[in-house]
Structure 1
């Protein structure tokens, strides 16, 4: 599904160098099979331009294109789960966000689904991360169990949304990630490509 046709979430729904293994947050010895990988957008796949509505400002972060390509080659579905409160704040239109999403989608060769929350924090919706709505909806669209998804993001809200949905979370810290978010994350990676390569290595290890 293209970013242009994927509807945003609605408040009414109920539902680079490779890093070494992190000694503080080592990966558990066994994982269930990964059904899908869901990425945060800003600060994870692309440079974080606050309230960006201009596709020309989109810049992929290092490793983003290769990470998505590796997952595609492995047959693992991908998606994006993104808070876009600029819509609710009146700083962006829904069309602006879709155009930016389309640009990212084109640069990355197409992801399986795009789900975003247009609400400001005070709306109290079920979709805005750290609540689980975006993760649950992306999993539903991809036809997978959210508990078999991996969510990769750069801040604590991504980790908490994954946990609330029963998914695995991998934090890829950057300059805006708070130390306490890193300390409390169940799993971290030094960069995006390291996170994806780890997931794929574990997948190959699970296969007979």
Structure 2
């Protein structure tokens, strides 16, 4: 669903702005983002992957070595660079990125934001399959995720578009994002170029 109402889509057109996916860990930003990018014939970029490439180490190592504050500063710079330098693409961001006021301003200026909203049980199910979640190693995952929901969901709600990420396959969620983008921009979306395989993407 979209916060804004637009006229029904008219002639097919390319996506006019980069799509920035926001949401908690486990919301499906990478899985949905890859499929959304392929559907629109656009590059997919994972901000976490870009941060790791710039730092030369994993996000978990950055947290351990430099702390969360330093990580957030680097994250802010990387996202601003990606949105300022790259042509239209699909960008998946880390769970805390949209909480930064400066990052939200940059996203608002250069992109359209989509919150992939998932409930606590879905997030628990998905994050249990991954061990590289630094914030979840600080205590009980259920309590930590609930605390993050309480803190972050009111801010995520500032996103331009909200799409629920549930038990349905990521392909279906990606199609719902496409429909929401079409309503938001008032256009029918067509791929810019044939979708290509994207190297280096994380599952």
Instruction: Give the TM-score category using the shorter length.
Output: 0.3 to 0.5
More helix by share: 2
TM-score normalised over the length of structure 1: 0.44
* Higher-RCO chain (CA-CA 8 Å, sequence separation at least 6): 2
